[in-house]
Amino acid sequence: MPGARAHLTTLAHDLGFEVTGWADAAPRPAEVAIYQDWLGSGRQAGMDYLTRQLPRRADLSSSLPGVGSVLMLGVSHAFAPQPVPAGGIRLGRVARYAWTPDYHAQLEPLLERLKQEAASLGVRARGYVDHGPVMERALAGRAFPGWQGRSGMLLSTTLGAFTTLAALLTDLPAPPETPTHPDRCGTCRRCVAICPTGAIGPDRLIDARLCLSALTIEHRGPLPWELRPRLGEWLFGCDLCSEVCPWSVRAGPLARLFVPEAQLAHPDLTQFFGCSEREFQRRFGHTAFSRPRRKGMARNAVNVVGNDPARRGREVLHLASTDPAWEVREAAAWAWGQWRAQGEAERLLHDPQPEVAAAARRSLEAGG
């Protein structure tokens, strides 16, 4: 069996995974308790599926009967800065992992290749790329030469924080126990200090109700009014805590498997307007932008423009003011208020959707 593990590890590296490691699949009561407490505190925000998946996350045998060990896999998305394409309204920032086409679609065929190779060795296996009921960070912390940083992210002295995780569950017996990697955060608190909303807790867990990534990707409906200014220029996700980590800075650009695209790193905001959801999916279905859907990306674009100190992107606000999604029009009412454009906000006072009219009224009152 050690030969099978070594064979699969070698193949994983050949396929392009930057880091690999094996972990015992047995449940860890302490890890489950931490996760359970996080859910119990409501810090998962509207991601209720995490609560429903808890029994399966706690016991991997529900996903693969007889599971004994897990091959954890990591791919760097530490890209160098991308040039801003010409044309369009290219404001806002996108989290680096979304600069490349959807990583699920890129990694799942590699996991299938590993699964097939495992079968040829008489090993049953099942792969997941972060959307399955697997506690990836906890498993990776056991398998990799790394640790859970103060930001809640898995950190490595060689890869920093920009690592996409995947897991291959197998029925191989548990691997030999390896020493836990020492915590290298020391007294550094750069990630905590830079978080605009204070989403990083003292227990190294993230409050998704405050996290910019969760707000711009997972949150449905209007963004919390008081948090909109704090989102600043973030259009999709947030990299601040990972960017300032000294280990990320030291590692620099490392991505080898994933290839970034400038059009995804700096999208034209007008592309999120004037199209149906079906047209949007045809255009962006192969990217991470498909997760918040068209109206989520349009809402985010309006928030970015509303926060722009140079007052750029007026076309976006005009498009948003007549958008078919009331959540986008509601965001426009807020943004016009940020711009102190009272005439534009007044037009939305008569919107048939009560939430939009209320937002316009609130913007006018705040503008004095």
Which residue in 130, 183, 203, 351 is the catalytic one? 130
* Residue 368 scores a pLDDT above 60: no
> Mean per-residue pLDDT for 84-94?
97
**How far is it, in rounded angstroms, from Cα 264 to Cα 98?**
7
Of the candidates 211, 232, 236, 360, the residue with the CA atom closest to the CA atom of residue 298? 236
Establish whether 130 is a catalytic residue: yes
Helix (H), strand (E) at residue 127: strand 125-128
For residue 117, pLDDT over 60 is answered with yes
Please determine, for residue 221, whether its predicted confidence score (pLDDT) is greater than 90: yes
**Half-sphere exposure in the Cβ direction for 341 (13 Å, CA):** 17
Q: pLDDT at position 146, please? A: 84
The pLDDT of residue 8: 97
* Percent of the chain scoring above 70 in pLDDT: 99
Residue 303's closest CA among 46, 82, 93, 97?
93
pLDDT tens column, 250-276: 999 999 999 999 999 999 999 999 999
CA distances from 285 to 41, 277, 281, 297 (A): 33, 10, 4, 13
- pLDDT 10s digits, 19-60: 999 999 998 888 888 888 888 888 888 788 888 888 888 899
Q: For residue range 177-201, list pLDDT tens digits in order.
A: 888 889 999 999 999 999 999 999 9
pLDDT digits (tens, 9 = 90+) for 320-351: 999 999 999 999 999 999 999 999 999 999 99
Q: Mean pLDDT, to the nearest integer, of 102-123?
A: 97
- The per-residue pLDDT for 34 is 84
The pLDDT value given to residue 1: 64
Does position 2 have pLDDT exceeding 80, yes or no? no
Average pLDDT, the chain: 94
Mean pLDDT of 73-93: 96
Residue with tokens 């909109």: 228
What's the pLDDT at 251?
92
Task: Give the pLDDT band of residue 130 (cuts 50, 70, 90).
Answer: confident
Residue ranges of the domains in the chain? 2-77+102-170, 269-363
Per-residue model confidence (pLDDT) at position 344 = 95
Give the bridge partners for 170, in sequence order: 69, 125
Mean per-residue pLDDT, 150-163: 92
